[in-house]
Amino acid sequence: MKRKVAVVVTARPSYARIKTALKAMEAHPGIDLQLVVAASALLDRYGSASTVIEKDGFRIASRVFMLLEGENPQTSAITTGLGLVEMATVFENLKPDAVVTIADRFETLATASAAALMNLPLVHVQGGEVTGSVDEKVRHAVTKMADLHFVATAKARERVIRMGEDPGRVFVTGCPSIDLAAEVSRLPGNGFDPFAFGVGPTLDLSGPCLVVMQHPVTTEYAEARRQAMETLYAVRDLGIPALWFWPNPDAGSDGTSKAIRWFREHESPQNIHFFRNFPPETFLRLLARCSCIIGNSSAAIRECAFLGVPAVNVGTRQEGRERGRNVVDVPHDRRKIEEAVRFQLGHGPYPQDPVYGDGQAGPRIADLLATLPLSIEKRLTY
Amino acid sequence: MKRKVAVVVTARPSYARIKTALKAMEAHPGIDLQLVVAASALLDRYGSASTVIEKDGFRIASRVFMLLEGENPQTSAITTGLGLVEMATVFENLKPDAVVTIADRFETLATASAAALMNLPLVHVQGGEVTGSVDEKVRHAVTKMADLHFVATAKARERVIRMGEDPGRVFVTGCPSIDLAAEVSRLPGNGFDPFAFGVGPTLDLSGPCLVVMQHPVTTEYAEARRQAMETLYAVRDLGIPALWFWPNPDAGSDGTSKAIRWFREHESPQNIHFFRNFPPETFLRLLARCSCIIGNSSAAIRECAFLGVPAVNVGTRQEGRERGRNVVDVPHDRRKIEEAVRFQLGHGPYPQDPVYGDGQAGPRIADLLATLPLSIEKRLTY
Amino acid sequence: MKRKVAVVVTARPSYARIKTALKAMEAHPGIDLQLVVAASALLDRYGSASTVIEKDGFRIASRVFMLLEGENPQTSAITTGLGLVEMATVFENLKPDAVVTIADRFETLATASAAALMNLPLVHVQGGEVTGSVDEKVRHAVTKMADLHFVATAKARERVIRMGEDPGRVFVTGCPSIDLAAEVSRLPGNGFDPFAFGVGPTLDLSGPCLVVMQHPVTTEYAEARRQAMETLYAVRDLGIPALWFWPNPDAGSDGTSKAIRWFREHESPQNIHFFRNFPPETFLRLLARCSCIIGNSSAAIRECAFLGVPAVNVGTRQEGRERGRNVVDVPHDRRKIEEAVRFQLGHGPYPQDPVYGDGQAGPRIADLLATLPLSIEKRLTY
Amino acid sequence: MKRKVAVVVTARPSYARIKTALKAMEAHPGIDLQLVVAASALLDRYGSASTVIEKDGFRIASRVFMLLEGENPQTSAITTGLGLVEMATVFENLKPDAVVTIADRFETLATASAAALMNLPLVHVQGGEVTGSVDEKVRHAVTKMADLHFVATAKARERVIRMGEDPGRVFVTGCPSIDLAAEVSRLPGNGFDPFAFGVGPTLDLSGPCLVVMQHPVTTEYAEARRQAMETLYAVRDLGIPALWFWPNPDAGSDGTSKAIRWFREHESPQNIHFFRNFPPETFLRLLARCSCIIGNSSAAIRECAFLGVPAVNVGTRQEGRERGRNVVDVPHDRRKIEEAVRFQLGHGPYPQDPVYGDGQAGPRIADLLATLPLSIEKRLTY
């Protein structure tokens, strides 16, 4: 009898962090995958992950529209509540043997609460990390509702156990996003043309080039716009071809979006091309060939550690996250950002660092999901 | 400038666990109390806590109807989701400086998530304890979303800190329910007649008498009815006058309710009187004068430790909770329950044990709420 | 290709009003029935229609828990809103070709709104009638959202057309509840013992006997309890064996329920037996053999017209509804109720009156659903 | 004692249709205005009506975030359900004596259902009109839930009465949007520069110029993009300076938005400037001075009748709506649109036509709201 495993994907970046596990689960004889796609993962405005997911050959078992417009703390709360209401109905219909939730976006509280309250074993992927902002509360709250933990690093495992979880139920699998990075790093360069997508000038990528990805930091809502402007000016002033990827729909992203729109209208930057909707592999491919990544994306910390890509991490969003040697940290200050990028361009690529995984996380997760005992009873270990 | 402190009460027993703190907050010059009454606390069927609250002189700032009928795991999840949606609107209107949530009922996830996602400092009262069932997940998840922790025991404080919370933000205040017990133990006996309420025969309370309170254990949903029957038969067979209090609206309480209804129709027990709707003080008064408490209520473990009332704790619901010396544990077995009650009747009252508080929790909590620095930024301490 | 027809049943009485149509739909080669059971139809407290439905051999495609506890106008509104949220997800999964909604309970607004906003053809059964209370608003609002109308009477058809609906889309099918009445009236008397169910004394049904069913009138919320008391005293004073059926979960039913509970505890009526949970046929069977029906149930007006059972209709709830000759109307006054019952007992059975149907509504509805053109475009005819 | 009147505004165009009534209500000694701003009226993406409302000097009593992202029929339904849930809480807090809902957008079902189910008198402004699409169902369903009707035209009054409403409760007030048009037509031309806003080239408005506003038609969802393209090409090919206003957030607007974005990127139209966020008066001012309005906005039918502005109405959205002489109807065909615009430019301004109001609707509505008897009991008149 196959185990029915419901995996809930609520955003484009979450998909990248679970994709190779989904592939391995689908191929596994002991697992019946029930893929639930929800929230911004269903929406064009945020890169329409659902379209990418179907192109990748997955069948979507259920779609949950739950994202409220407004992008402020109140709509985050209502979105999560609505998601919890709907997820209860979805789980009642799918009757999964286990539910998998990924990382620490606010709406994962809906998935985790629904599973916990409905007595469904909950599996948390990527717990035990430390960052800034409300994600920190969400991540550890999900840990305390979860029955199994698949973490990315040894340090993360130690933290989950110290929070009172049973060591026999916490596994270092590595992060599936590193599996994708490993695949990409094995591929030859090819003739893919990013400029068929997005908006802005066509750039020359034969020399040094930059990738930028900057998300708003939810608890500094009002600052999102100003922070984005610092990075926009820094990148414009560097004058090096830059590929800029649009932020996620967190509270505050409207500030970031506005900054970008205003900058494009008024400053017409000649060295920046803006993108919204990229399949994870293509993004990784661009990452693998770029000279430096700038912003506050976790890709700079995680995938780029494995890929050896120099990174300039801006602001507090990744504070506390384990790092490889490839990262330089700077505040939201256009001059400091510029300097750090020039330093990294001078340094060049770093050696591979397996801190977030060795490229085998997906199959490892699928095997564990198929074979571990499932239970909903747990208790603080101390 | 007074601090606006929103306290969310979602059930009759939660009210008993916060009442003296509410009194102290109302009297405190530095606090503007915003009392939110929600879920079963609004409903007749569950003892209409809201009526008691208003009789006690509190003004209710907002009422949140959120409890779905059905009393199963799915309706628990939907109730919580709906509560989160509504609580977001309520907090938006009240604009509190801090939000207080009590203990570990499933619907406290709604309060905690709303506060965390809306960047409101969250205060958790009675974290750090260990019990069975889904409450265990809920309690510690709320801890990980909370910014301040007011716990009942030294051991609870230690646990909260071990989960990675800043020791400077975890305070042993004792449990306000003990304050009520202390007040009651100072009152003279009086002519109050419980039999003006509830249903069943009028009993002679001049000799030994029992108090019974048995809640369904959520993750053993199907068993609730059978478990209730064991206690019902044990109490009937003991033949001693017994005051039985109706359970809370958890998933499964329908099983318990059905057992009680069936037992009344078919066994017409001559020594049991059944109650639904009791103000906390009256309940405590009855508790203080009874010879033994039976069931799985936390009152047996907490208030009765202070009051020295012998307790027979049935089943797993209170597993892991710290105890005073007054408690004997038994499984769901009518013979074992009977035996243990007879042992306790033979033993008689125990000495006062301050394990859950010294009777000053309420004022202590109000002072801390008025003066502690409030913040929404936190991070695992390891 | 079969048409997928979703039928939403939200309460025990609604099931009686659609059951023979469901049977006919299931047997129809052109229809794929998708039965959605929701709200009080899922709950024990209200007669657990879902259990009856499954015993009758139907497969339930989806269950929608949506009924909020509280039974007041606010919870009615929240229940309907929550139902609309969930129904949207259910319809998205079932992808019906048409949606059928029944009569005029408040929660049918959820079904109707979901269908209308999701561009699904909506079929309304039992529009065009006139009654008191909020049902009047709900019923006609549903008519204005519906694309096809299957009404019970010629007069109802005329009203629907006068409201601006296309006469070619309004059909007098009769009410399926009359089909059940017709079946029952053809059955021989049998040895069924109602006193195996419900609570109260066993009664002698060999002589005259009464059936009582009284619902609260939503817009007279506060009066529900007093109104119930008048009928309770009248029936007690008549001294004739009476079978009393519990009310529906409308706003205010708590008042009615309380009156019944109080009356049982304090007046111990020796001639009344109380029931909650009856399959429609059994209810009809009791109706067919009783001497008079009392209260404000529409069964008195509809089924009893066909069966010729004398009826005493109390209060305003059925105001404006077409009647056969079997009905005497009285206000909420115990003396007036008594008098009218005595008059009806003196009169005895009335001749059959087909005003609400000829017993063939079910097959007629199934045929129309299988063959009528379906469309979501409509426009006022004037 | 002042009457508390809650007015719910859910979108920018609804605000224009009630603004002068709000002004009159605020000035009225018998009315305490409770302004509830909800759905897209709170959002930047849709013109941030709430900002305009506050600039106009109104105090917002409550904000209801309810709009789900996704803009498809399912999210429309969920949005309405969520709105109903939240509106119930808002009305419970505000305790209005009457609730006013405007026109026929899908989310007005939430306002109307909440008021009806909570026994609050419901006032419907702008019922009795006839158009295409789902609005037709929504509008008349709201009429059947409403207790008072303030309609724009004599014909609308006749229709509402024919639907079975009491003639004594249906009043021709005219449409408040015409009050704004009347004000604007009395103002002198001035130096306002629209090109400080929006995106696209600065245009010469000294000669003929066009205003365009095209909304997606919800029940033709898939066609929205194609339909927008026809109008885009027609306007581009006409070569006359055109001011294009962004559509509302209906199901399908994403199709329209995409068409506009694609057209701007690929066709760079030199004669079109695009706008999102306009206060109603400024829009009317531009309307009053333009040579022709194109698209399917009701402003072309209503305000422009009063203003005498020639209109080219495209497609079915305004089908069935009463017209003045200023309107030429065409299908979604770029050639037909061009021809009709040229005809209207040749014809020039039309005489004032008071079909939708004489400019005094606002004060008339305020007086009626302050003085009419309020009731929630109604019944079909036939």
| pLDDT tens-place string over residues A212-241 | 999 887 556 667 889 999 999 999 999 999
Q: Is C64 on the interface with A (CB under 8 A)?
A: yes
Q: In sequence order, which residues have a C-beta less than 8 Å from that of residue B164 and are 6 or more positions away? A: A140, A159, A162, A163, B144, B380, B381, B382
Distance from the D6 Cα atom to the nearest Cα atom in chain A, whole angstroms: 22
Q: Does position C289 have pLDDT exceeding 70, yes or no?
A: yes
pLDDT band at B321 (very low <50, low <70, confident <90, very high): confident
Instruction: State how far Cα A232 lies from the chain centre.
Output: 22
Q: What are phi and psi of B174, to 5 degrees?
A: 80, 170
Distance between CA A175 and CA A13 in Å, rounded?
Answer: 13
Residues of C in contact with A64 (CB under 8 A): 89
User: Is residue A198 very low, low, confident or very high in pLDDT (cuts 50, 70, 90)?
Assistant: confident
pLDDT digits (tens, 9 = 90+) for A2-36: 999 999 999 988 998 999 999 999 999 999 999 99
Question: Is A62 near chain C, with CB under 8 Å?
Answer: yes
Contact B119 A87 (CB under 8 A): no
Q: Is B119 helix (H, G, I), strand (E, B) or coil?
A: coil
Tell me which residue in C69, C72, C265 faces B69 most closely, judged by beta carbons.
C69
Is D186-355 in the same CATH topology as D3-174+360-371? yes
With a pLDDT cut of 90, the percent of chain D lying above it is: 72
Residue A250 confidence (pLDDT) = 54
Higher pLDDT, B193 or B141: B141
Contact B209, B243 (CB under 8 A): yes
**Quick one: average pLDDT of A187-202?**
78
- Please tell me if residue D371 touches chain A, with a CB cutoff of 8 Å: no
CA distance B291 to B312: 11
- From residue B145, alpha-carbon distances to A134, A138, B123, B127, C98 in Å are 9, 7, 9, 11, 45
Q: Does D41 touch chain A (CB under 8 A)?
A: no
C-alpha C45, offset from chain centre: 17
Higher pLDDT among residues C369 and A377, named by residue:
C369
**pLDDT tens-digit readout, C319-362:** 888 899 999 999 999 999 999 999 999 999 999 998 999 999 99
Tens digit of pLDDT for each residue in D365-377?
999 999 999 999 9
The pLDDT of residue B132: 66
CA distance D87 to D100: 13
Position D31 confidence tier, pLDDT thresholds 50, 70, 90: very high
Helix ranges restricted to H, B167-297? 176-186, 224-238, 253-267, 280-289
pLDDT of residue C121 exceeding 60: yes
Choice among A352-356, B137-141, C145-149, D184-188 with the minimum mean pLDDT: D184-188
Distance from CA of D85 to the nearest CA of B (A): 8
pLDDT of residue B380: 93
pLDDT at C282: 80
Question: For residue C164, what pLDDT is reported?
Answer: 97
Model confidence at B220, pLDDT cuts 50, 70, 90, reads: low
Per CATH, which fold does D186-355 belong to? Rossmann fold (3.40.50)
The domain B188-356: what is its CATH number?
Answer: 3.40.50.2000
Q: Report the DSSP beta bridge partners of residue A149.
A: A124, A170
Is there a contact between D93 and B62 if contact means CB atoms under 8 Å apart? yes
For chain C, percent of residues with pLDDT exceeding 70: 94
Q: From the list D62, D82, D85, which residue is nearest B93 (CB)? A: D62
Query: What chain C residue is nearest to A66 in terms of C-alpha separation?
Result: C85
Segment C222-244 shows an average pLDDT of: 92
**What residue type is assigned to position B376 of the chain?**
I
Residue A263 identity: F
- Residues A68, D66: C-beta atoms closer than 8 Å: yes
Sign for the pseudo-dihedral over CA of A42, A47, A49, A55: positive
Check residue D266 and give left, alpha or beta (phi > 0: left; psi -120 to 50: alpha).
alpha
C122, C101 contact by CB (below 8 A) = yes
| Nearest CB to B144 within list A116, A118, A140 | A140
- Decide if D289 contacts D184 (C-beta within 8 A): no
pLDDT of residue D191: 64
Question: Which of A74, A89, A141 lies at the smallest CB-CB distance from B145?
Answer: A141
Of A315, A295, A135, A329, nearest to A223 by C-alpha is A315
Q: For the domain made up of D3-174+360-371, give the CATH fold.
A: Rossmann fold (3.40.50)
Residue of C208, C298, C206 lying closest to C245 (CA atoms): C298
Is the minimum CB–CB distance between C95 and chain A shorter than 8 Å? no
pLDDT of residue C301: 93
Min Cα–Cα distance to chain D from A246, Å = 17
Assess A90–C contact: CB distance below 8 Å, yes or no.
yes
pLDDT tops 60 at residue B292: yes
Mean pLDDT for D271-296 is 87
Cβ B43–C69 below 8 Å, yes or no?
A: yes
| pLDDT tens-digit series, residues A247-287 | 765 555 678 888 888 899 899 999 999 987 676 678 888 89
Task: Flag whether pLDDT at D251 surpasses 60.
Answer: no
Test mutation, A68, A78, A89, chain C, max C CBs within 10 A: A89
Shortest alpha-carbon distance between residue A62 and chain C (Å): 8
Residues of C in contact with D317 (CB under 8 A): none
Q: Where are the domains of chain B?
A: 3-174+360-371, 188-356
Judge: A85–C90 Cβ closer than 8 Å, yes or no: no
pLDDT band at A311 (very low <50, low <70, confident <90, very high): very high
Give the contacts of C268 (CB within 8 A, at least 6 positions apart): none
- What's the whole-number mean pLDDT along residues C91-109? 96
Is the ipTM, as predicted for this complex, more than 0.90?
no
Residues in a beta bridge with A367: none
Per-residue model confidence (pLDDT) at position D132: 66
Instruction: Identify residue C133 by its one-letter amino acid code.
Output: S
pLDDT in tens, A143-160: 999 999 999 999 999 999
- DSSP per-residue letters across A156-214: HHHHHHHTT--GGGEEE---HHHHHHHHHHHSPP----GGGSSBS-----SS--EEEE-
Interface contact flag, C320 D379, Cβ < 8 Å: yes
- Which among B89, B91, B93, B117 is the top mutation candidate for probing chain D, defined by the most D β-carbons within 10 Å of its own β-carbon? B89
User: pLDDT value at position A193?
Assistant: 80
How close does chain B come to D173, measured CA to CA in Å? 34
Both tokens of B166, joined, read 């800043």
Residue with more model confidence, C221 or A74: A74
Level-2 CATH architecture, domain C183-356 = 3-Layer(aba) Sandwich (3.40)
Q: Do C67 and B66 touch (CB under 8 A)?
A: no
Split at pLDDT 50, 70, 90, the class of C199 is confident
pLDDT at position D47 is 76
pTM of the model: 0.85
* Share of residues in chain B with pLDDT > 70 (%): 95
- Chain D residues closer than 8 Å to B82 by CB: 85
- The residue that leads in pLDDT, B16 or C250, is B16
Give CA separation, B154 vs B148, B357, B365, D183, in Å: 16, 10, 16, 72
- Band the pLDDT of A47: cuts 50, 70, 90: confident
Residues D265 and A82: their CA atoms lie apart, in Å, by 36
**Interface contact flag, D64 B89, Cβ < 8 Å:** yes
Q: Could you tell me which of A162, A161, A181 has the C-alpha nearest to residue A171?
A: A161
Contact D86 B90 (CB under 8 A): no
- Tokens (6 digits) for D58: 């109104």
Nearest CB partner across the interface for A382, out of B136, B143, B162: B162
Mean pLDDT lowest for which of A118-122, A320-324, C175-179, D349-353?
A320-324
Q: Is D75 on the interface with A (CB under 8 A)?
A: yes
Is the pLDDT at D39 greater than 80, yes or no?
Answer: yes
pLDDT value for B276: 78
